Amino acid sequence: MFQDNSLLIELKNQLRKKKLIVEGIVKSTSQGFGFLEVDSKTTYFIPQKNMKKVIHGDRIAGSIEIENNKEIFHPEKLIESFLKIFIGSIVKKNNCIYIRSYYPYIRDIVFHRYKTSISRSWKNGDWVVAELKKHKLQNSHHFYAHIKKFISEKNNPLSPWYVILSRHNLELTSPIINSIELLKQTIPNDNRVDLTSLDFITIDNCYTKDIDDALFVEKSSSNRLILTVAIADPTEYILADTEVDFIAKKRIFTNYLPGFNISMLPKKLSEDVCSLFPQVKRPVLACRIIIDDNGNIIMDKIEFFLAWIKSQSKLSYEQVSNWLEKSGSWKPENIRIEKQILLLQQIYNIRNLWRQKNALIFQDRPEYRFHLSKKWEVLKISIENRRIAHKIVEESMISANICAAYFLEKKLGFGLYSAHTGFDIFNAKNVVLFLKKYNISYSIEEIMTLSGFCKLKRLLNQLSNGYLDYRICRFQSFGEISIFSKPHFSLGLSSYATWTSPIRKYSDMINHRLIKSVIMGNKRITPPNNTIISNIINRKRKMRMAAKEIEEWLYIKFFKNIDHHNKFYQAKIVDVFKGGLRARLLKNGAFIFIPASYIHKIRKELICSPECGMIYLRNKIYYQVSDIITVKILYINQEKKTIFASLIN
């Protein structure tokens, strides 16, 4: 009926007579053709032959022409190229070198090699960083790319790690120290308290080399517990604005990845000179904390000072947990170590009770660890639960960070604070409306206060309703870093500043320097600037994305190498999309996607609601986020790094 529409015929005749020029973004498809997206409502078809002139994401201009009664877009001018610097692999053909992009929507495009300063005998599959130099819409017969950096050979078992890290512009190796003189620096004894005779102990993973905290507990004459937290002091070796300081400032964090770690500091420092090895004298920044019978920290008695310590024993979480839980054969090597473990357990018990009443505690969630062979193959994936020893150390570190926040606020009025503001006004309204559906009554004003937020979270913990937790978390604000003291709603604390991992986190190094400046009596102490906060946020985001991609790749590799057919898995629903649901396998932590067609055969009877985190069948709740389901692996899409599964009813 549209073929005889006079207005449409007239419009088409006008288009034939007068060229219509439009501008938009190129969107490619897996079938080879694409579309020009002008705005949210207007798109034009780009046939396969025309797609060969452009790249997915390009902003371009061109003309619309009518061909076989269809509006066809013809690219003519490049406004802005989507692709600038990219990851690719070398393709050798007829003694010529080409580059194929790593990105999914651009893999069909082959880039001709532009001149490069890198002298290398290139091999098929070599991974490189390349930069687009010439675009086809810039009067060029080909796309040309300049090779900026060699990443890895194809057969290097670490190439997936290197490619993903390079994609996010992250370092591939730990820094190497250039200044040997740095390690020869003599630390003066006169400004440090000698605590080498005390029974400090460390508790870490058995494979930890960068040991940054040691603990010692004693009882006062009034029978109060006194906890001394001693933290490795890299700032004694690393002066501000030196070569190593600039390295740390750029890296911001130690990057913990499946298989290996890429340290923030040179390993000579983080895993040797600064690490709190047993029976070795080390400089530390220490905090002495007095705790009363109710678990309160006596804030006006907090003391920060410089010291020397000598750890008496390197213990592991597994050893200590087994002993306290009365399992296994391990036991402390002497009565002094045994006493320290039991006193630390006492501190955990009373501080944990205090936080349950006055703040908030973490919910136990399992962590999954990849076990890799020497050839970087996945041998197995194990579940690592937080046990009593983990909680003992965690409680001590939280107490120390509460003290640092108080000290910095009182002495300087600034520092680097970890903050979380709970709900903004818009989401607070949504939370109140949502809770009413479950007969839970709160006012907007109440849940926007720290005490009200804590009250709500404690109630949710008592209800143990995973779906409610999920929905409330979706309304919460993101955490932030602040120069000035702010509450941390997620911890239920009025102020929080970390300083307990200075060989792994640059922000903790900054707080170390600020605390030490106060101790040393410096008068001119300047606050951190907003640039460092921006760098911390951006770096954390990049590292999380890289770690997630590496884990996805390892899961794909793991399932490719095992017989997963006809096996059933328990999984927990973690998200709902328009086209299906996402779940996590409880056994090994892998994320799977179940398309709607594998949830229920009659698609029109099923509604997937991402906003509610629910799936409705015939207008009744069928599944929701946090439900435990049984699934079967269908197939693995290696290109999209997705494991597809079906629901077993």
Among all residues, which ones are annotated catalytic? 204, 210, 212-213, 317, 504
Question: Distance between CA 74 and CA 22 in Å, rounded?
Answer: 10
C-alpha 451/C-alpha 436 separation (Å) is 20
Q: How far apart are CA 516 and CA 284, in angstroms?
A: 11
**CA pair distance 328, 318, nearest whole angstrom:** 10
The owner of tokens 């804030």 is 299
Residue located via tokens 């008695």? 301
617: Cβ–Cβ under 8 A, 6 or more apart, which residues?
600, 605, 606, 607
* Backbone region of residue 626 per phi and psi (left: phi > 0; alpha: psi in -120 to 50; beta: other values): left
CA dist 465 and 482 (Å) reads: 32
CA atoms in the 13 A half-sphere facing the CB of 634: 15
Q: Which residue has the tokens 């070398």?
A: 90
Residue with tokens 């229920």: 600
3-class state of residue 364 by DSSP? coil
DSSP 506: H
Give the Cα separation of 43 and 46 in Å (integer): 10
Helix (H, G, I), strand (E, B) or coil at 606: strand
Backbone angles phi, psi at 271, to 5 degrees: -110, 10
Rounded to whole angstroms, the Cα distance separating 20 from 76 reads 12
Q: Provide the 8-state DSSP code for 484.
A: S
| Residues recorded for the chain | 649
CA distances for 526 relative to 77, 355, 516, 643, angstroms: 51, 33, 13, 51
| Strand partners of residue 581 | 576, 594
Contact 313, 330 (CB under 8 A): no
- Identity of the amino acid at 476: Q
How far apart, in whole angstroms, are the C-alpha atoms of residue 497 and residue 528?
A: 13
The rounded distance, in Å, linking the Cα atoms of 244 and 178 is 9
**Residue 452: C-alpha distances to residues 89, 423, 426 (Å):** 55, 11, 17
Nearest to 211 by CA among 503, 573, 634: 503
What are the structure tokens assigned to 260, written together? 């290996």
Q: Which residue has tokens 């400046």?
A: 517
Q: Is 15 left (phi over 0), alpha (psi -120 to 50) or beta?
A: alpha
Q: How far is 544 from 546, CA to CA, in rounded Å?
A: 5
Cβ atoms of residues 264 and 256 within 8 Å: no
Q: Hey, which bits of 385-516 come out as E strands?
A: 417-419, 480-482
Tell me how far apart the terminal alpha carbons of the chain are, to the nearest angstrom. Answer: 46
- In whole angstroms, what is the distance from residue 114 CA to residue 633 CA? 44
